[in-house]
A and B are shown apart, each in its own frame.
Chain A
């Protein structure tokens, strides 16, 4: 290896190609920094949330579709759903003090769900399998293709009720946006009668 310091100067004309980034203008689109606009269709709302940051949670109020920045998320009950890449937390259990619980409903028929189920309610729980990650109540929202490493929404939607009694039906519509960026989560939800 002592030979290398003497060899390196000899490569000045070769192994010093320009940095590939120098000649490449990068794209810059609003969606890289911002969440897509809220779409309201009657009582049903749709929103694409940029949850691409590895270590930042994005907090969402299902009441009005607002993205929030709570000072203390664990003690804040204004949000119901938090998103970070493929992780979806609810404001309940170990994730927050909002008393949010969810109940899965098999199938993808959001419009056909008119009442909260009677059973199957759960919330975020402490890590049970020793991997350092909580057992999220919405942890089964996606199917994972181990061959292509593509995440796609599982064949289920969710009913979700907060501690104040407000309930919603929630569908995760997709994980990728039109540019193919992962963690651009498309959500669709609407109010449900209290359970």
Chain B
């Protein structure tokens, strides 16, 4: 049911676009999300379904990074490869899912994959997941959905936290934070250190499966109330990650691969109340991403390479939220963005793009139909490479009964061609094949329909169902411009030729049969079809289920959690007969199980032991997930923790 106008406005005033909810909001009793509408909204009232991973969920999972956290989430598919941990949802590719940190884009995608493993969870307050196209609000790359990482904000007058974890394979994690919150000023500093020896699923050869790494990250944020109507939020974060791995080339060369990733993000968000019913939020942000890659051939230098890739992003935004009458909440905004990349793999060594956008959305409580809200929205984006792209969307939310909510949405999404797809110029030094970008590429586009319902069957049982269908057009695929022939290596390029669809059903149930027991179950059916190749899209499991059981024995100060993911067979391609022609293969089904037990100590923290991937699922070629990991951890906080 929609919030009363005063509270609604209060939420508008208290929060800006894609920002964490404030404690005042939480005291209002609503579980707040921002990703569905770019404005703080009670999760239950959001016009599109928002899946929420709270700080409590994060702590209980034992996950240290976003990849581990999302692996067991309903309907999400984390696929690991040499590119890192990639996220799929609703059968869509990783580059068709937009990942945001506090509403801002992140850099550093490789072959379209943003490695989820590089995001530590220590500074995340909550993760908001909106499935289905989000381009009407967020623009490019939100075809399959949006994952928004909301960073932690100070919520106590003075507090310090320490987290330590150690485990097998040289796994060590440490993080510490201090925060202070006053009437007018608040701030937080956080630092983390993470390392692992990686793992090797093929010990019979020199190659490693996952690189060893060491990562340092620091972040901080401050908020100031500069007057009754003006507030200012500033945030910054920095990260350095060193990786070491070994690869064996097709020709037998053993290559030591070293890389150093550095990332810096800064943002400034002033908010201004305009009268009693409007708020203006401005934003300025910038990001730097640099990745050095060094390849050192063992026993020779012919294949030694060094590459320095750098990306820069600057963004300005303005958003006005205005409550009109009792029935409208209007959001209008504008954004301008510039991105550049320097890489020896780009033709000319560099690329740049500019993008500007206008967006509008209205949350309209329809008169005469109780509990019905209609949310039309649209975004018009102008990109310096391919021109205008409009992305309209219409969402509907109907509170059919006090316990039953129905949501329907239809919208469009698109993905911008990457710099690599536009400007790549790569020639393999050994085999001689050439891959070149295509500057005339158009964006990939999608049309989507989502239909869902949530039913609070009782005080202890909650059920939901969602069906989706996504039509994908102008998909960018690599194509053979010139086939290899006698004495002539192949030439490859990119074209907008493919089309595909994905469709499916997502079911979820949550129950608390006893005060000490919390159960969650989910099942996702995903069908997909590459209409050009007339075969299922690669890597998508048709059946996927998750189960989670949480036990909380408060009298003993003990809690425990078991998380399981059951993933069906996945269609893949690979050369199985050595004839150089890809063959259809099927990766077998697997089950992953994580366990964790925690004991409160001294009222100021907890110790925990856990096992990730207890069943040791995984294989060297078709499922390169981390092997079983046993760990223990300790958390301390001062003053005593009042929540997770």
Interchain CB contact under 8 A, B580 and A146: yes
CA A29 to CA B297, docked complex, whole Å: 11
What residues of chain B lie closer than 8 Å to A13, measured between beta carbons?
238
B110 at the interface (CB under 8 A from A): no
A32 at the interface (CB under 8 A from B): yes
Known A3-B314, A19-B292, A144-B489; contact A27-B238, beta-carbon cutoff 8 A: no
Contact of B431 among A87, A149, A178, A179 (CB under 8 A): A149
Interchain CB contact under 8 A, B300 and A179: yes
Known A15-B262, A15-B288, A149-B430; contact A29-B300, beta-carbon cutoff 8 A: yes
A1 at the interface (CB under 8 A from B): yes
Shortest B157–chain A CB gap in Å is 29
CA A22 to CA B300, docked complex, whole Å: 18
CA A11 to CA B289, docked complex, whole Å: 11
B388 at the interface (CB under 8 A from A): no
Interchain CB contact under 8 A, B487 and A135: yes
Interchain CB contact under 8 A, A147 and B582: yes
B3 at the interface (CB under 8 A from A): no
CA A16 to CA B290, docked complex, whole Å: 9
Interchain CB contact under 8 A, A1 and B580: no
Interchain CB contact under 8 A, B297 and A146: no
A168 at the interface (CB under 8 A from B): no
Interchain CB contact under 8 A, A86 and B262: no
A163 at the interface (CB under 8 A from B): no
What residues of chain B lie closer than 8 Å to A138, measured between beta carbons?
487
Query: Which of the four size classes fits the interface of chain A?
Result: 35 or more
A61 at the interface (CB under 8 A from B): no
Chain A: which residue is nearest B261 at the CB level?
A17
Interchain CB contact under 8 A, A7 and B266: yes
Shortest B189–chain A CB gap in Å is 15
A41 at the interface (CB under 8 A from B): no
Known A143-B580, A180-B303, A181-B300; contact A20-B292, beta-carbon cutoff 8 A: yes
Interface-central residue, A10, A20, A177, by most chain B CB under 10 Å: A20
Contact of B249 among A10, A19, A32, A180 (CB under 8 A): A180
Shortest B107–chain A CB gap in Å is 12
Shortest A58–chain B CB gap in Å is 14
Interface-central residue, B252, B292, B582, by most chain A CB under 10 Å: B252
Interface residues of A (CB under 8 A from B): 1-4, 7-8, 10-11, 13-17, 19-21, 24, 26-29, 31-32, 52, 54, 85-88, 129, 131, 133, 135-136, 138-140, 143-151, 175-184
The 10 closest A-B pairs by CB, nearest first: A180-B253, A182-B430, A139-B487, A1-B338, A139-B486, A150-B250, A180-B252, A176-B251, A179-B299, A148-B250
List 20 contacting pairs A-B, 8 Å CB cutoff, sorted by A.
A1-B354, A14-B238, A15-B262, A16-B262, A21-B294, A27-B300, A52-B429, A85-B429, A86-B431, A86-B487, A135-B487, A144-B490, A146-B581, A149-B433, A151-B430, A177-B300, A180-B254, A181-B251, A181-B300, A181-B303
Interface residues of B (CB under 8 A from A): 238, 240, 248-254, 258-260, 262-264, 266, 284-286, 288, 290, 292-294, 296-304, 306, 312, 314, 316, 338, 340, 354, 428-433, 482, 484-490, 574-575, 578, 580-582
